[in-house]
């Protein structure tokens, strides 16, 4: 189906990156939105993170939409 993970930032112990993948046949069902909300809450509440961020490959508009639905704010592009 897919995967999701949270990786502590090597330069800032109060920050972590959220990363995920979902198989194309499972897209459009809200699975990843729920997973991102749940894992983000866990990172803040249980791991003590002050900041959770995601990096999105250019052109992956679906991933941007997931993050925005979960309350993430775009801060810049590399």
Fill in the DSSP letter of residue 26.
Answer: G
Phi/psi of residue 22, nearest 5 degrees: -135, 130
pLDDT of residue 7: 97
pLDDT of residue 78: 63
Q: Which fold has domain 2-69?
A: Aminopeptidase (3.40.630)
pLDDT digits (tens, 9 = 90+) for 28-70: 999 999 999 999 999 999 999 999 999 999 999 999 999 999 9
pLDDT digits (tens, 9 = 90+) for 59-78: 999 999 999 999 999 987 76
Q: pTM of the full predicted structure? A: 0.91
The residue assigned the tokens 């679906």 is 62
- How far lies 42's CA from each of 12, 21, 49, 52, 60, in Å? 18, 18, 9, 11, 25
pLDDT of residue 76: 79
pLDDT of residue 48: 96
């Amino acid at each position: 189906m897919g995967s999701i993970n949270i990786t502590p930032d090597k330069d800032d112990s109060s920050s972590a990156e959220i990363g995920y993948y979902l198989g194309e046949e499972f897209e459009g069902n809200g699975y990843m939105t729920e997973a991102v909300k749940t894992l983000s809450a866990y990172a803040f509440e249980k791991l003590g993170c002050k900041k959770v961020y995601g990096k999105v490959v250019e052109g992956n508009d679906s991933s941007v939409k997931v993050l925005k639905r979960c309350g993430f704010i775009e801060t810049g592009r590399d």
